[in-house]
């Protein structure tokens, strides 16, 4: 607002865009929402002032002869300090009704756009183009899966991989059980051998547990 007021002496200002750094080409479409927008640019900034008529640019170039331009004046002071913090906080408070109205309007436009695209796709489905190609859509019992032979092959390949992983896991589980069973058998065998050795030592009066 301050830059627009400052350069309005040169001609009618159409827009003022503040950027983080100079960008080539045309500016991007400005976001219309005041709730969903990019974070404000802080620190050093670059401003693009667009006049409605080319004469405004020539008048702006001649301003350098008049000396420095003051953004904050007594008649139009720029808020700083605590007054700026208070206004920033007040602007950060969201009006629920206004936010709801904006979201509802956006969703209505989105639903309308999607309905138009679906109607267009349904109209073009099965109709060959100029070269005789027929466009294959994703509609059907499973909308997320294109009805092509390649898709069927991919599904079969995934099922094959799943079965292979399952069989491998089953084999590992069986191997683990067999290893555990063999370990228990070895412990039992060792226990029996120890019993026989102790019985033999008792018979020879050589067993002294204490």
pLDDT by residue (tens digit) across 38-83? 666 677 888 899 999 999 998 888 887 777 888 888 888 888 889 8
Please report the pLDDT score of residue 151 as a whole number: 66
Token reading at 58 = 């020539």
Q: Is the pLDDT of residue 210 over 60?
A: no
End-to-end Cα, the chain, rounded Å:
99
Query: For residue 31, which of 49, 17, 50 has the smallest C-alpha distance?
Result: 17
Mean pLDDT taken over the chain: 78
Assess contact for 47 and 13: CB atoms under 8 A. Answer: no
Return the higher-pLDDT residue of 110 and 151.
110
Residue 131 has pLDDT above 90, yes or no: no
The answer, yes or no, to whether residue 144 has pLDDT greater than 60, is no
| Length of the chain counted residue by residue | 210
pLDDT tens digits for range 145-186 = 555 566 677 778 888 888 888 877 777 788 878 888 888 888
* Pair type for strands 46-51 and 13-19: antiparallel
The confidence score (pLDDT) of residue 139 equals 54
Cβ neighbours, 10 Å, residue 2 = 14
- From residue 79, alpha-carbon distances to 39, 76, 181 in Å are 19, 9, 82
Interatomic CA distance for residues 135 and 127, integer angstroms: 7
């Amino acid at each position: 607002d301050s830059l627009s007021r400052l350069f309005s002496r040169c001609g009618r200002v159409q827009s003022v865009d503040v950027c983080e750094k100079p960008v080539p080409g045309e500016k991007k479409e400005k976001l219309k929402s005041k709730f969903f927008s990019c974070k404000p640019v802080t620190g050093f900034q670059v401003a693009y002032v667009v006049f409605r008529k080319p004469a405004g640019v020539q008048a702006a170039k001649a301003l350098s002869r008049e000396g420095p331009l003051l953004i904050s004046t007594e008649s139009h002071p720029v808020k700083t300090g605590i007054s700026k913090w208070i206004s920033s906080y007040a602007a950060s408070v969201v009006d629920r009704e206004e936010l709801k109205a904006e979201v509802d309007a956006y969703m209505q436009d989105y639903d309308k756009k999607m309905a138009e695209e679906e109607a267009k796709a349904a109209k073009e489905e099965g109709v060959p183009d100029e070269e005789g190609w027929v466009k294959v859509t994703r509609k059907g019992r499973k909308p997320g899966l294109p009805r092509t032979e390649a898709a069927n092959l991919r599904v079969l390949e995934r099922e094959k991989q799943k079965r292979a992983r399952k069989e491998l896991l089953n084999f590992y589980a069986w191997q683990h059980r067999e290893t555990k069973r063999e370990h228990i058998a070895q412990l039992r065998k060792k226990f029996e051998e120890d019993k026989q050795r102790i019985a033999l030592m008792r018979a020879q009066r050589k067993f002294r547990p204490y």
